[in-house]
A = this chain, B = another copy of it.
């Protein structure tokens, strides 16, 4: 008997009818002869509603209290799902994060899982029960409830799958898999039957909307296959796993794009050791996450340093950058809030020549100017004018013929 961990997102559990539909799906999995552990998010907009309630009472809700408040959302959906399963004649039990043995550090609102003691889950499975675990939450050694922050329920699911040695972690949401590009931009985009952990991580913004990178990373470290599929249909979904490199090597898997990007360039930076650290350490201390970093070739020991940040961080990032620029003797700092990012992703792509050139040619033919270029082993990223991002994604998708089956 195989063990399957399934995770259902808030939109799949938004009302009684959808909960019943999810319950039927779980029963099918159970009746196919599997042990099933289910991780749930809070119903629909519950979490946002609870946050709004807290903000009606205070400007800066205490993080410990907010964690307890938010954790109730997943307790509600987990108990309702257990009831729906019982109504279908299945033995089922809901467990809170604490009961499921999920220990975390005490960093409220963004706790990290420190260990999982799956004894209670195993005992309930041993009694023939379907186990429903409230996602997104854990408990500290001091018995205080924590929440895991962004991607929390995905993280709970993959971590539990790793801890229990599950055959697969199935992640059900309102999208039916990973596509070669965002289907909202590229109607002919094709669903990928499989993708590697690395590629999924490189899909960045687009991929993160499907499965949080934090959860993908845990899947990669513990080698847990993750199936991403829709809870609204029976489309087969996309399997994120580690065994695909050989087959899909040298292929472009997909195109990622991100619109919420801003670019900062520090002009006239003295090119000497320690300068990069001197720039990026203060940004990290200010809590600004820096994305693509490009340092141009040095001319007379003077260089320009460009990087991108999330658009919401631009103001803070400029403040820090201007202060730093003064200290290191740079000439000036300029920013552009209206840029976007387009990337092609493919395992081992860079070992094969021609991919970058083909991408740049596609952009050029579409009359799109490239402002920055950055690459990794399996990704090539161009920063371009924000307004041209949709055109760019479509042009590259055509250039690599991604609408065709590999």
A residues contacting B by CB (< 8 A) are 16, 19-20, 50, 53-54, 56-59, 61-62, 64-66, 68-69, 71-72, 75-76, 78-80, 82-84, 86-87, 93-94, 96, 98-99, 120, 143-145
Contact = CB atoms under 8 A, between A and B. Distances in A.
Given A57-B87, A75-B72, A93 B80 contact: no
B72 A58 contact: no
Nearest to A58: B87
Given A59-B87, A99-B143, A54 B80 contact: yes
Given A57-B83, A99-B143, A64 B93 contact: yes
Contacts of A71: 75
Given A16-B56, A57-B20, A83 B68 contact: no
A117 to B, nearest CB: 12
Interface SS majority for chain A: helix
Given A16-B56, A57-B20, A72-B76, A65 B94 contact: yes
Contacts of A19: 57
Given A57-B20, A84-B57, A86-B58, A75 B79 contact: no
A68 B96 contact: yes
Contacts of A78: 68
A82 B50 CA distance: 14
B69 A75 contact: yes
A153 to B, nearest CB: 17
Nearest to A77: B69
Given A16-B53, A16-B56, A56-B16, A76 B86 contact: no
B79 A58 contact: no
B96 A84 contact: no
